[in-house]
Amino acid sequence: MLSTQCLCTQLRRASRGVSKLYDDALSAIGINVAQYSLLKHLQRLEQPSISDLALALGLDRSTLGRNLRVLEARDLVVMQEGADQRNRIVLLSAHGEQVIEAAFAAWQGVQQLLVERMGAEQVDELSHLLAKLQAFDSGPD
């Protein structure tokens, strides 16, 4: 792999590598890390609208909609009408709850592996730096 000073390229490479660790660990459960994240957000938000879920995940509604259709087809989520016809509510199905429970140990194993490889202090520092980078999306602080 060619070395680069481009921060974007470095971040994308790191993201792909870390995502692969999670995806490999979660593959036995039948989901990937993006699906796990979406399901966990659903669990925490307790019946969000599609708009609220998209905002929480940092996704646009059309991307989220495509992802939700895949999960709905696998009986992991249920879509219901909201307060009006323009607003749909997303719910975890019982099967979705079971999948999250089954996937947690695999997810936690990768978390621990990363802490072991990097060290707790560097993981904390990385989390702080990533939070700063995520803030760029909402403008300068």
Report how far residue 122's alpha carbon sits from residue 111's, in angstroms, rounded to the nearest whole number.
13
> Looking at domain 26-135, which CATH architecture does it have?
Orthogonal Bundle (1.10)
* CA separation, residue 135 to residues 11, 47, 58, 128, 129 (Å): 15, 26, 11, 11, 10
pLDDT band at 28 (very low <50, low <70, confident <90, very high): very high
* 8 A C-beta contact, residue 118 and residue 126: yes
* pLDDT value at residue 139: 52
Give the three-class secondary structure for 93.
Answer: coil
* pLDDT value at residue 138: 59
**Whether the predicted pLDDT of 137 surpasses 90:** no
**Whether the predicted pLDDT of 82 surpasses 80:** no
Mean pLDDT of 18-39: 97
H or E segment and range at residue 90: strand 88-92
Question: Which pLDDT tens digit goes with each residue over 40-63?
Answer: 999 999 889 998 999 999 899 899
Residue type, 66: R
Domain limits, the chain: 26-135
* pLDDT value at residue 131: 93
